[in-house]
Amino acid sequence: MHKITLINGDGIGPEISDSVLKIIEASGLKIDWDLQTAGSDVIEKEGTPLPNRVLDSIRKNGIALKAPVTTPIGKGFRSVNVQLRKSLDLYANLRPCKNLPGVKTRFENVDLVVVRENTEDLYAGVEEKINENTAHSIKIITREASERICRFAFEYALKNGRKEVCCVTKANIMKLSDGLFLDVFRDVSAEFSQIKPREILVDNLCMQLVQDPTRFDVLVLPNLYGDIVSDLTAGLIGGLGVAQGANIGDNCAVFEPVHGSAPDIKGQNKANPTALLLSAVEMLKYIGENTYAKKIESALFKTLSNGYKTSDLGGELTTSEFTNKIIEYLI
């Protein structure tokens, strides 16, 4: 039986985790979940939102499903998400973005993948206050991190039958940092003759994505642009409630939705569990459980195609009603 770490998060995390666990159980797949609490709810008892036991569990199991965790603004704690990705060296953040059956959006045939560098850039947490009126944040870009994320993007493209990898930077302005990322992209692209390399500036990318996202295939970006652009691409396919993600390193992988803990709808039985469910489906594929992954994915697609949706997608179902519908279609 697979042993998988489960971080059920806070905010809407526990509600959507319950939903996903019920669906996986109803599919017939047995998983030994190693539940690890994290986030604002454990700070008081354990003095940190990310206790070492959570990291130890992921290191041991090699795989985790993670619901969102709140990052209190300006409270002195580093983001659990940033810390987790850095501590486990989960350098690749993979965010596939594809239209879902039954979810009508402005564009059809959207099928792109955001590959975001996950360990450095302005998220390295190197900031200093110069005086009352000035603060500095340091943007760190290294050859090593750029090389492995660009290589990850090309290898992903190759394995998944993709045609093109597009490097997204602002190298015209940040000539040294983004310039290095772009230089490394060009070097790595030379090793992958089957995949077409392309380059674009991030502002132009945003404009083109909202005009016609079908122009893009695989995008590789430094951390900050990747974070922002992947929320934009989530909007192209129905919003944060349906956008899945994964953080992958050489030794472990953590599957989690793009969205946050949505405190505005916490405890209201309104949250859409689709993003976490699709992240779990990718996780099942990753551990070789393709039959169960397909079974759950088709039940979800049937549910959406037949018009059963939560309110973020214009539907009327609560989280539990939507969960039960998916379970009905599993059988």
C-alpha span between 79 and 86 (Å, rounded) = 11
117 binds ligand NAI (CB under 6 A): no
Q: Give the x-and-dash track for 303-322 against ligand NAI (CB under 6 A).
A: ---------x----------
Contact between 41 and ligand NAI by CB under 6 A: the answer reads no
Name the one range near ligand NAI by CB under 6 A: 26-34, 142-150, 197-205, 262-270. 262-270
Structural Rg of the chain based on CA atoms: 20
CB of 130 to ligand NAI, least distance (A): 26
**Count of residues that bind ligand NAI according to CB under 6 A:** 20
Using CB under 6 A, pick the residue from 85, 116, 170, 259 that binds ligand NAI: 259
Residue whose CB is less far from ligand NAI, 120 or 312: 312
Residue choice 271, 281, 284, 330 for contact with ligand NAI (CB under 6 A): 271
Q: Which position has the token pair 């939507």?
A: 322
From candidates 65, 88, 202, 240, binder to ligand NAI by CB under 6 A: 240
Does 68 participate in binding ligand NAI (rule CB under 6 A)?
yes
Q: Is the dihedral of CA 254, 257, 258, 260 positive or negative?
A: negative
Residues 70-109, one symbol each (x = binds ligand NAI by CB under 6 A, - = not), give xx---------x----------------------------
Selected range binding ligand NAI among 27-35, 137-145, 167-175, 252-260, rule: CB under 6 A: 252-260
Out of 6, 69, 88, 284, the only residue in the binding site for ligand NAI (CB under 6 A) is 69
According to the binding rule CB under 6 A, does residue 275 interact with ligand NAI? yes
Q: Does 261 bind ligand NAI (CB under 6 A)?
A: yes
Question: Which residue, 61 or 261, is less far from ligand NAI as judged by CB?
Answer: 261
Where do contacts with ligand NAI occur on this chain (CB under 6 A)?
Answer: 12, 68-71, 81, 240-241, 256, 259-265, 271-272, 275, 312
